[in-house]
Amino acid sequence: MATKIDVLRLLAVNRQAFWSITLKNSADLMKTIVNEVWYPAIQPLMKVEGFVGALVFQPLTEPIIEHFAKNGDNGLGMDYTGGPLVTVDLDFQWNSTSGDDQILSIEEDIIAKSKTCAESRGLSHRYIDQNYACIKRDVFAGCGPQSKARLLKVQ
């Protein structure tokens, strides 16, 4: 249960950064990401003033992916026949600009290492969740070349 101090600490946060990747569903891969990538990477950040880190696994089931095309074309370029997917979203918050470089570097490294783990198991997917993507990412590329061209045209 959150204490009053915990709540006040969260309200004081004024820096935030998101990153996202998508993987094919695998409990073993998610376990590896948590234990071998995420947890070791965030240890140095525990000393950063106001640091709060969230690692979120959001399922994209076959019915959800199929629903993307319910009213016509699937603008995200996703195909449900490949099985369920999981978006891995990082949300880091902290208080001071002095933590920017360290935190952003670690967040980017977590994504890179997670992607490498997924690729080595044949579980990587190109889609990037636009709601949680870092500004550096080309989210339209994650939709595939045809969808990217169409999305850029109507942007």
- Give the pLDDT confidence of 61-80 residue by residue, as tens digits: 888 777 766 655 555 556 65
The percentage of residues in the chain with a pLDDT greater than 70, rounded to a whole number, is 66
Handedness of CA 137, 139, 143, 147 (dihedral sign): negative
pLDDT value at position 5?
Answer: 59
Largest CA distance in the chain: 50
What gap in Å lies between CA 108 and CA 86, rounded to an integer?
18
What gap in Å lies between CA 115 and CA 126, rounded to an integer?
10
Q: Which residues contact 117 (CB under 8 A, 6 or more apart)?
A: 29, 32, 33, 36, 37
Q: Please, is 93 exposed, middle or buried when counting C-beta atoms within 10 Å of its C-beta (0-12, 13-18, 19+)?
A: middle
Rg of the chain (C-alpha set): 17
Most confident of 10-24, 113-127, 133-147: 113-127
What gap in Å lies between CA 45 and CA 23, rounded to an integer?
25
pLDDT tens per residue across span 29-52: 999 999 999 999 999 999 998 999
Any idea where the domains of the chain sit in the sequence? 12-154
What gap in Å lies between CA 19 and CA 94, rounded to an integer?
15
Whether the pTM exceeds 0.85: the reply is: no
Task: With a cut of 60, say whether residue 10 has pLDDT above it.
Answer: no
Residues 20 and 129 sit within 8 Å (Cβ to Cβ): yes
Q: Find the range with the poorest average confidence among 2-11, 28-37, 40-49, 109-118.
A: 2-11
The amino acid that residue 100 corresponds to is D
pLDDT value at position 108?
Answer: 92
Mean pLDDT value across the chain = 81
pLDDT value at position 7?
Answer: 58
Task: With a cut of 70, say whether residue 146 has pLDDT above it.
Answer: no
The domain defined by 12-154 folds into Alpha-Beta Plaits (3.30.70)
Residues 22 and 63 sit within 8 Å (Cβ to Cβ): no
